[in-house]
Each structure stands twice: as structure tokens, then as C-alpha cells.
Structure 1
Amino acid sequence: MNFRSFLALAFAITLSLNDTFGQVTENPKVDEQSAPYVKIRRVELTDEYTIIHLRFVDKGSGIPQQPQGIPFRFNPKQGMGQGSSQIWLDPETRLYKPGEIEKKFKFIKAENIPTNSTKKVSLGDTVNFVAYFERLSPGIEEFDFYEGRSSQGTQSWNFYGIQIKNPLKKQPQKAEQASAKAKAPVKKPATEPAIPKNEPQKEENTNESGVAVFRGTVYNAKTKQPIAAEIRYVENGDSLQIKSSSGKYKIGLDPSEKYDFRVTAKGFYSTSYNISPADSIGKATFSRDFYLNPLAVGETITMPNIYFETSKFALLPESYGELDRLADMMKENKNIRIRIEGHTDNVGDFDKNLELSRKRAESVQAYLVEKGIESNRIEAKGYGATRPLSQGSAEERRKNRRVEFVITEA
């Protein structure tokens, strides 16, 4: 065998090994993860498995917080003495293609971490372990690693946007040539009507996995740039939170639950959002971007969820959540002073509208004082219909009926 033949044979063997043993991605890029002390070190694809090598390091600081992310749960100091913890891998862990959670790849087995018991770890310990899953379909080069939602006494984590090498398999050239040479199908005579097939269509259940995905990005409303943020919510009685340094978030939801989300960021006014996955049958992914206003002097911030009795200034209970959030912001930022501004549309008597808008602003002021905010930090003014947002249709003019606050000192 000459040298050229030897090189050709070696190259063929290498290709064969790649086809047989798949791809290996060292230290893959991960878009979002909640805990810096857990890393995905390597993802290996074989003919049979997706093999994920992970490392857990108990650094102590930060662990008792409520992290979300990776495939195993962490239970801090559960009867193990000061400075010790327990970890294990939930066998319900699965892999998903982002945005297509019906494409799931099940957990098979694990090495060096238990799945039906717990493993004790002490401060400073390092645990290297391996998780085996069904083989990702060729062409899926980004996937999510979803362990589940936190429950009482435990903390669960997930990885989102794990990027690996997993190209589509190339079709044999001979097969392509054979397909090209295939004869065109014989057409039936035009006089012969086509007989429709009444085969029942298979209905896809996008919530087959029992998980809905809520995703998006948190932005600075002024600069339109992503900002580090925190999203808090309650599920099955547990208070949970997601921290994102990039502003991007992705949360697995129980489709049967209703959720109230609160989005916060340091130096910005928080907002809230309600969602009920069950209201959108068959929809498995929900997208929502949030734009938070910076807490800076001169900023005018509209409060969208303030409601009054019709043509009166008495606050309705539906307003309390929004007002409590404003009160919390002022308690956290002792130097901030605000001016509450009431506005109406131009329907009705001008003077009465002006008085109504002032009294509504004063109702908001009184509520905040009841919540412990010093009265000298809150000014109240009514502008009636003098500062409209829209002059369009009746529906558009409804936007003029609003309550805002302006930051006067910070």
C-alpha cells in the first residue's frame, strides 16, 4: 500500500468513527443558567445517547438563594449539619428543542449522582457527574436542559440555549442520483375525478410534555437595551424567582396554573404581568418582552392598572396590586419624591373633569400614605383633559383617562 492509499484509508476510517461515535462539544456555550457553580463541561453525541458531563462545586455563598436551572435539585442543609447539603438528579429531567417542547428527549441513566436518593456534599466539595439522555435528532444544535420547577424544601435549576455540534447527516450521493433518475408519475386522465381521502388528521398536542414555556427579554424603556433583571412568581404555593444577567429569560410553566409575574431591575420601576397557559389551548410557547422605566428625575411613568368607580374618585380593589408596587419602590428608594398626576378625557364639563382628576390623584396619594409613605414625599395634581395622549377614535381617547407619577427628586 502506497502512502496516498494509506492516507485515503485513514480518512475513511476517521469519517466512519465520526458517524459512529457522533460529535463532542467541549465547554458548550449556554445562553442562560442560574448558578455559576454548576457547569456543563462536555456534551457527547453517540449513536445511542446524548451524554452530558457536569460539574457541581459547593462554594457556599449564594447557594441558599432561590436559583433556577440545571438538571438536578439542591437541598441546602437538610438535617446534615452546618455547611453540608444534598444533591440528586431528578429522573424526570428531559431535553427540549427551544420553542418546540413536544420534541423531548428522555432521561436514561446517570453516573456519580443518585436519582432515587441523595448525595451529601460539604462546603468546597466538587462533584463531577454524567447524565445520559435519548439521542438528539441530527440537526438540533441548540437545546434546553429542563429538570423541573422548584418545590418546597428543594431548589431546581435549568440550562437554556446549550449550543453543540450536531449537523444533519448527509444523504448518500447514489440515493440522490437514483432519485433524480426516477420517472415522473403517470398522470391520470382529466376525465377521471380525484377521490378525496377522508383520513383523520392526527392532532398534535403541543402540551404533551406537560410544560409551557414563557420567554422574552427585559429592556430599558429609554435606551431599548437589555438589562439585568429578576422575575418573581408563585407556583403551587412556592415563591420562585429567575435572575437574568442578560435580560433574557425562559421559564417552564405548569399549563394548568395561573401566574402573576413581577419583573424588577435595580434602578428601574417594576412591572407585572398575568398569564394563564390553559387559556390558549394547544399553545406551548408564550413570548413577552418587558420595558422598564429608569428611576430618574423627570421620568413620567404611567400606571396601567389603576381603576376607579365610574365618574368617581373611589379606588377599586383591582388597583391595589399596582399601588402596592409603587409603595414598595418608594420604601426601597428613600430619597425618591413623586408627583401623582390625574388625567381625564374631554367628554363632559371641563371644570368637573379637572376636579375629578385632582381627587383621583389625591386618592392615590392617600393610599400610599396609608401604606407608610411620608406625605411630604407625594404631591398630587389633576390636569383634567388638558394633556391628552390621543385625539383619535373613542377607543383611542380612552387612553387619556389615566394616572401617572413623575419623579421629582431621586
Structure 2
Amino acid sequence: MLIFNSNPNIAMNFKLLSASFGAILLSIHTSFGQITENPRVEESSVPYVKIKKVELTDANTVVYLQFIDKQAQQPQLRSQPRTSPFPDSRIPKLQQQGQSQIWLDPETRLYKPGEIDKKFKFIRAENITTTTKTSVANGDTVDFVAYFERLTPGIEEFDFYEGRSSGGYQSWNFYGIHVKNPLKKQPEKSSKPIAKATTPPAKKPAVKAPQKKVPVPAPKKESETAVLRGTVYNAKTKEPIAAQLSYIESGDTLQIRSSSGKYRVGVDAGEQYKFRVMARGYYGSSFSLAPGDSSGKSFDQDVYLTPLIVGETILLPNIYFETSQYTLLPESFEELNRLVDVMRDSPTVKIRVEGHTDNVGDFDKNLELSRQRAEAVKNYLVEKGINGSRIEAKGYGGTRPITKGTEEERKKNRRVEFVITEM
């Protein structure tokens, strides 16, 4: 027998109890994981695969994806990466008219950008094969799910890297996937005093040692020989900037300062020159000149310097290592010394050195080699007196190519860059 009580207070208490119970259930659900619907993705290798949701459970990182075959027929719409094309333009082959084939490479993994030791392996997939290929009719949509190891709490940006597909197929790569994954142990943030105890006095000696010789008046050879002239520009704004040129002539180091950016130098046709161009707040450059190789009496050489701006990526063009090793060769020292001078002249600048390789060979070994090369550059700067707390080193392996094509062109992918992280 059921007995109903019409007392309004009891009814109100029941509603409050129901609301409290619902809140408890919600808190229990959220404690088991974090869900990010339609996460922001900075770059993707193909337009026809989307990440719809990322769920972080206690055990896994679950990525929900969607494939739309209709867009797979338009490879020219592939998005571009941060600074370059993606590796291996592998486009799904059409096995029959109106059909393509898909699968998920079991070697796919998640990475914290630039950190080889922060990788999370693939576990399993739902609604997509990983060993055979599945045909998809033109226009069909396939929703599938990929399970990976659980992202470490605090990692709120990661890369989804497939990258090992072969046989003419396009890999599915996603860079800069932003999710909710807060750090659980908040007290660790209180360890800032350790970061501050980085012996700031070490910075001042570096500023005190300009290592620049006293300017010597340049010999007046304009009327006797050839003339080099040009303007130094801001590479971003294309506006002239105040700069300093230095060069060696007859064993003497000569310097020319220009407040307007325009310069004019008399040069001897019987000598070879290497000019170094510097400006405060910019990364310097250099160029060579051999007047005797030309029949002209004048030479024009404009120079464009990259400003030191937070977020700016700057190529170190003349960095060389032993083959398949991370030992710096002496030919690299001139370029590295230029970076040393920049950091001495700008003592508040902090940078991230980034190592890159091509995509030939083992993926993980390339990542490790690129990290070691970035560390080698950092170690050189530290040995020259730059405080190590101002330098971060990361390796990206072959995931950030700047060119593709011939073997000679792909050599450009083996490079070292640095990014301004703080001014």
C-alpha cells in the first residue's frame, strides 16, 4: 500500500535532496575525466578528418574523429603547418570510381609538442581498422574513436602524429590540439623560489664583455676602387633601421655605424670581404663580397634583419654537426657567436632552441637526435657565459619540414632554429 503525503515542506525537502543527489552524480562523473568538445586544433594535414571530441578518463586519452570521404577527393585543400608543408603528401588512392580506403596506423601516438619523453602510445580503435584497409563510398561519413595512454595532468596541448603510413596514402596529423587537462598537484607551483635562485649575477658579466674592438677609421678608397652601398631594413616592416656594419680589411676590423640604415663603403678590388650587420633588437646577418670577381665599379647590397619579437622563429643558417651525430663542427662557431652577442646585448631575452631533422629513417631516433642537437647548441651558449635559465632546448624530429621534393631540397629540413619566448 502506498501512502502519499501532501505536506509542502516534505515536497520541498524531496526536491532539495534530488538536486543534491544530481550534483553529487555530476561531480562523480567529472572526477573520472575531462571532456573537450570540438577542441581547437592549430593545424591539420588534411581537411577531411576532424577531431570532434577528446575525453580524458582515468586510464585513457580518447580521441573521437570523423572522416568525410567527399572532401578526400580535394587534396589541394590540405591545411599548412606552423611554418611549412607537412611531410609526405600521401593522398588516399581511389581503388574504384567513387571509393577510397581508410585505416588508422597502429604506430600513431600523441606527443607533447617538442618533447620526445612526453609520448603516449596508441592502444586500440573503434569503428576503423588498424591492420587492413576499409573502402568508403564517396560522400560517406565515418565516425571512429582512438584510445591512447592517458595524457599526464597539466599537458593541455598535444600533437596527434600518424606519419608512418606508406604506399601513397596521406597521413592524418594534427598539431596543437588544446584540451582541458588541469594539473592535479597545484602545490608544485609554489616552487618558484628555486627558479629565481638562478644566480642572476651571472648575467651581468655577460653584458660587460662586448668583445668589440674600438672602431678604426675606414680608409678612403671610394675614388680609387669600387663602392658598396645599400640599406639595412626591418624584415617585417620593410622600414630602414639604424645598424652597424663590421668587416676586416688588411687585417684590421673596421666598423661603420648608420643611424638612417643607409651605408656606403669603399672596397679594394684585390681583397675579399665578409660583412657582418647588426642592430640592437634584431638578429644579425652576414654576407660576402669579392669585388675582383666583377667588372663593375659599384655594388648594391640591401640587408633585412629579423626583429627580436616574442614568438618569432629565426633560422640559424650555418650550424653543422657530424653526420648522424650531435657534435658541433667548428664551422658553426661563427653563427653561434652571433647568437651569443645578441643575448649579451639583450640580457632579458629568453629563447627556445629547436632542432629538426628530415623524415628519413626511424621516427623516434630522429626525434632524439634533434633534441640532442638542440641541447648541444644550448650547451655552447652556456659555455660562452649565457645563463642556462634563459635557454630551452627541444627537438621536433621530422615533424616540421620546410620543404619537400628532391634529396637536395630535403636537406634544408635538417636545421636548427630558435624562438623568442620572453623579452
* Structure in which a larger fraction of residues adopt helix: 2
What TM-score comes out, normalization by structure 2 length? 0.47
Of structures 1 and 2, the one scoring higher in RCO (CA 8 A, sep 6+) is 2
